[in-house]
Amino acid sequence: MDDADAREHLGRTGPEVGFPVPPPRAEVVPGYTELRDLIVGRIGRARLDVTLQASAAMVTLYWHVGQDILERQSREGWGTRVIDRLSADIGEAFPDMGGFSPRNLRYMRRFAEAWPDLTIVQQVAARLPWRSNIILLDKLQNPEPRLWYARQTLANGWSSNILDFMIKSRLVDRQGKAVTNFDEALPPEGSDMAVQVFKDPYLFDFLGTDAPRREAELERSLIAHMERFLLELGRGFAFVGRQVHLELGGQDFYADLLFYHLELRCYVVVELKAGKFEPGFVSQLSMYQNVVDDMLRHPDDKPTIGLLLVRGKSETVVKYSLAGFTNPLGVADWQDRLAESLPDDLRTSLPTIEEIEMELDSGDDEHGQP
């Protein structure tokens, strides 16, 4: 396709459909690099600030919960079994939130006992990730070195692993126990602590976002796994892109995987979902096929094939969801529907659904998923 044909081909879609491609860095205007660095810096600092504020609010709440438990146990003479009951009741009241297991509630009680002054908690301990506070509780019994290590962690942006190493290496004995001034601002953006706080499972449990985060991680790992699998089949798959960006009517969409099949002479769009089948998945995949056919498909290419891979499905829902779609499209083990959509001489060129499902099962095992 020459340039004129390409322009004519692209013109069919109109201005609201496209595959946005950034210009080469060599073509950007003078001063762009400074603008980019400024904005990236602002985003990074704001992102870290918001996350640390959420973490500090969580740790401060943990102190209050621990203080409440301490006071009631001291006044009422309650035993430890009340913590098991409390954990269950909190879980019932906030089913989408974790972090209040009996073990963690006991840590909250120890945390309040180890840091009786709320002012010090707010100034130092609450500014550290909860995992780092647990290490301080487990490794240090005396308040003076505990405060010293807490401040050093904040000043240097240590991760919990580095903190653990510094305690084991007895850094306080080598540098003296005098508490030096430390930076009251955010820890260094590139520090281990700053990186770790974005992955803190306690914070995600507290915010109730743990399930979506893990589902997104599972989808990313399965996408990478399926990409390797399809490329290793040796049946003509040529990798085009992952998370391919499409702009449609002012909205952003991202196709999980895009291949070109050299034997079939067509594009193959693969969408992989970590959850059960939903009817909307078919419409989304069909839309991606239509855009690829309109924007990328050469006149000599065959129609784009869509593969939708899900982790659970109702055959009846899938059957009625596929009814009426003319694009060659297959859903998980619906190989019969995929075969019906493809010409006879093309059916054997794609992997069988049995092969795909075996790979998905092995991918689950590899990533520790049930």
Structure confidence by residue, pLDDT tens digits, 328-363: 655 443 333 443 444 444 445 556 656 665 665 555
CB 63 within 8 A of CB 126: yes
Checking if the pLDDT of 303 tops 50, the result is yes
Using alpha carbons, list the distances in angstroms from residue 18 to 10, 40, 260, 269, 289: 8, 26, 18, 16, 13
pLDDT, position 323: 61
Q: Measured on CA atoms in the order 247, 251, 252, 254, is the torsion positive or negative?
A: negative
pLDDT, position 308: 79
Average pLDDT taken over every residue of the chain: 76
Cα radius of gyration rounded to whole Å, the chain? 28
pLDDT, position 15: 56
CB 65 within 8 A of CB 108: yes
Q: State which H helix or E strand residue 88 sits in.
A: helix 81-93
CA distance 286 to 358: 25
Checking if the pLDDT of 309 tops 80, the result is no
CA distance 113 to 127: 18
Q: Which long-range contacts (CB under 8 A, 24 or more apart) does 137-145 make?
A: 137/107, 137/110, 137/111, 139/164, 139/167, 139/168, 140/167, 143/114, 144/177, 145/172, 145/177
DSSP conformation class of 309: E
pLDDT, position 266: 87
DSSP conformation class of 332: T
Q: Percent of the chain, pLDDT > 90?
A: 23
CB 135 within 8 A of CB 167: yes
- Which one-letter amino acid corresponds to residue 229? F
CA distance 49 to 198: 11
pLDDT, position 199: 72
pLDDT digits (tens, 9 = 90+) for 199-233: 777 777 766 665 555 556 666 776 777 677 767 65
In order of their start, the domains of the chain are 32-208 (no CATH), 212-366 (3.40.1350.10)
CA distance 47 to 35: 18
pLDDT, position 346: 44
The pTM score is 0.60
Q: In the beta sheet, which residues pair with residue 245?
A: 254
